[in-house]
Structure 1
Amino acid sequence: MITRAGTAGRDRRRSELREFLMSRRARVSPAEVGLPDGGARRRTPGLRREEVAVLAGVGASWYQWLEQGRDISVSPQVLDAVGRVLRLSNTERRHLYVLAGLNPPAAEVEPSKRDMCEGLRRLIDTWMPYPAHIMDRYYNCVLYNDAAATVLGMRPETTWNCILDFFTDPLYRSRARNWEHNARTVVAQFRATCAANPDDEGFQQVLADLTGASAEFAALWEERDIEDAGQIRKELDHPLVGLLSLESTALQVPARPDLTIVLHTPLEEANTAAKLEWLASPEGRRGAMYPVAG
């Protein structure tokens, strides 16, 4: 049964669909799609409905009904054809799916958003003196700040894959007090990511590398636990300042769905914030220059 609120929401969505398609159609000139512009006789800004229909390979009446927000059956293939004619961005294409009542396709990185690393570098550097790093979709480390190096042991000679390092880096494991507890969460979150990308060979390669490198990972993977990414409490025993209690939070930037930002926030226990500030100070940096066990 459709409730009054459901009917109102559907009507709003159809109204927005109509206005959205009309506005996108008005942006595209006939010349951009290889049609004559018609000169001064052309009254319609952008493309006509009939022109969109022909270029998308759909019936003129059907497209008119779509733009009017009528209750018609739509398919992803047809919406993609309309999106190509209207030159929709990936974000706009996903929006069209939502307005048409379909599950949107996976988010993609817009070409104009690919060069965001400088801005993201500024973000994690501003997070100092707290650790922060950025991973790609396969858990490969893209960037990390100085605190991540000092506290988490991130360094050029490791694999640069965060989940592989979690299981195989002896420096990190020597510091992680609650490693066994967090290992279950890490594997469960990785399984959720793999399950969402079943045909992605990149994840299959990471899985093969992990299974071959760590018997502990392989055993946990067989338990088939699954969990969404979120926050993880980390207790680290740092050789210079002792216990550090941190909470890591995984964040995604909608414009860069291929990247995950991991920010570590100090918890109140063990005076962690003050210890991190000292480690980032000139005195703390000098202390880190000398070999210390662990």
Structure 2
Amino acid sequence: MRNTTGAHGTALGSFLQARRSRLRPEDVGLDSDGKHRRVAGLRREEVAQLARVSVNYYTRLEQGQNRSASPEVLDALAGALRLSQDERAHLHDLAGSAGTQARPEPVAEHVRPAVARMISVYEQGPAVVLGRQLNILAWNELARILFSGHIDLGATETLPNLAELVFLEPGARRLYPVWTDEAHELAGYLRVMVGRYPGDPALSALVSKLSDNSPEFAKIWSGHVVWDKTHGTRYLHHPEVDRLTLSFETLRLPDSPDQCVILYQAEAGSESERALRSLLAGRNGQNG
């Protein structure tokens, strides 16, 4: 199995290196020296200057030779590298797992029956409960209808893994008309979970499987994309009703913070709302 996080410190160093490589001196208020740069992005000494740490300290941190960094230093590095809120949180997760800080241990995931019932009666749009390993832990009828429009879900009662569907099932590219966006967002969310649970063997196995079987995933993963978006717009397609435009909201369960309840809905009075009603009515009619 491929080591997806590397030795202690390597994941942190790889993330820092990836983030400095995307910045130019002018992006952070530094004057370019006009010399040709052998590699893209900021130099280590420029990051150290911006974060007000020594070059030697930053170099050791990036190379995995230094496994400790205070929250203040991490925040300074986040500012120097212009990290987003999600990236900043990921940086702290990586530093915690590389050092001696206690880290959360993965536990088996189960959906509370009350949450599963809430999802099952939601009819405004698709609804899913997503676990930290991107397993779909529960979904409602509209979600099942939309997925089965392009993907053979089989007769098994086991719910699918969303990342495996998106990257390994050919039908996913028809289900998601803007497939590239979905792919980047899922890989970014998986990166967040790997940073939070670096010792989770199921997460490591999933990343290895996707890397070995999806060149697109391997390319996105190498860029250290981090994404934990809580709301937005999703475009879906179903062969019976064509394209759907849905907004979504992500809710965290207080007693299971790594489980996400994702609720989709169409704008009131829109073609997408009428299409969802048609799909649900048609399936209810078949079942009746």
User: Which residue is 1:273 aligned to?
Assistant: 273
| CA distance in structure 1 between the aligned counterparts of 2:253 and 2:220, rounded to whole angstroms | 29
User: How far 1:261 sits from its partner (Å)?
Assistant: 1.5
Query: 1:188-199 maps to which residues of 2 (within 5 A)?
Result: 188-199=188-199
Contact kept, 8 Å, 2:130 with 2:261, in 1: the verdict is yes
User: Which residue is 1:149 aligned to?
Assistant: 144
The TM-score, its normalising length taken from structure 2, stands at 0.55
Structure with larger RCO (C-alpha < 8 A, sep 6+):
2
Query: 1:109-128 maps to which residues of 2 (within 5 A)?
Result: 117-128=112-123
Residue 250 of structure 1 aligns with an amino acid whose one-letter code is T
User: How far 1:276 sits from its partner (Å)?
Assistant: 0.7
User: How far 1:105 sits from its partner (Å)?
Assistant: 6.9
| CA distance in structure 2 between the aligned counterparts of 1:134 and 1:188, rounded to whole angstroms | 18
SS of 1:177's equivalent? coil
SS of 2:240's equivalent? coil
Once the two structures are superposed, what CA deviation does each residue of 1:135-170 show, in whole Å capped at 9, x if it has no partner? Answer: 222111221111001113373558711111111222
| CA distance in structure 1 between the aligned counterparts of 2:123 and 2:203, rounded to whole angstroms | 31
Contact kept, 8 Å, 1:107 with 1:257, in 2: the verdict is no
User: Which residue is 1:222 aligned to?
Assistant: 222
Change (3 A) 1:108 1:138: closer
Contact kept, 8 Å, 2:133 with 2:190, in 1: the verdict is no
Larger proportion of helix: 1
Change (3 A) 1:189 1:267: farther
User: Which residue is 2:98 aligned to?
Assistant: none
Contact kept, 8 Å, 1:108 with 1:256, in 2: the verdict is no
User: Which residue is 1:62 aligned to?
Assistant: none
Identity of aligned residues (%): 22
| CA distance in structure 1 between the aligned counterparts of 2:181 and 2:249, rounded to whole angstroms | 17
The TM-score, its normalising length taken from structure 1, stands at 0.54
2:126 to 125, 131, 140: 131
Contact kept, 8 Å, 1:231 with 1:248, in 2: the verdict is yes
Contact kept, 8 Å, 1:108 with 1:257, in 2: the verdict is no
Show structure 1 runs of 5+ residues with no match. Answer: 1-102, 289-294
Query: 1:258-269 maps to which residues of 2 (within 5 A)?
Result: 258-267=258-267
| CA distance in structure 1 between the aligned counterparts of 2:127 and 2:105, rounded to whole angstroms | 24
Contact kept, 8 Å, 2:253 with 2:259, in 1: the verdict is yes
Change (3 A) 1:207 1:147: same
Contact kept, 8 Å, 1:244 with 1:270, in 2: the verdict is no
1:202 aligns with 2:198: no
Contact kept, 8 Å, 2:188 with 2:225, in 1: the verdict is yes
Structure 1 runs (4+) greater than 4 angstroms displaced: 103-109, 156-159, 284-288
Show structure 2 runs of 5+ residues with no match. Answer: 1-100
User: How far 1:267 sits from its partner (Å)?
Assistant: 3.7
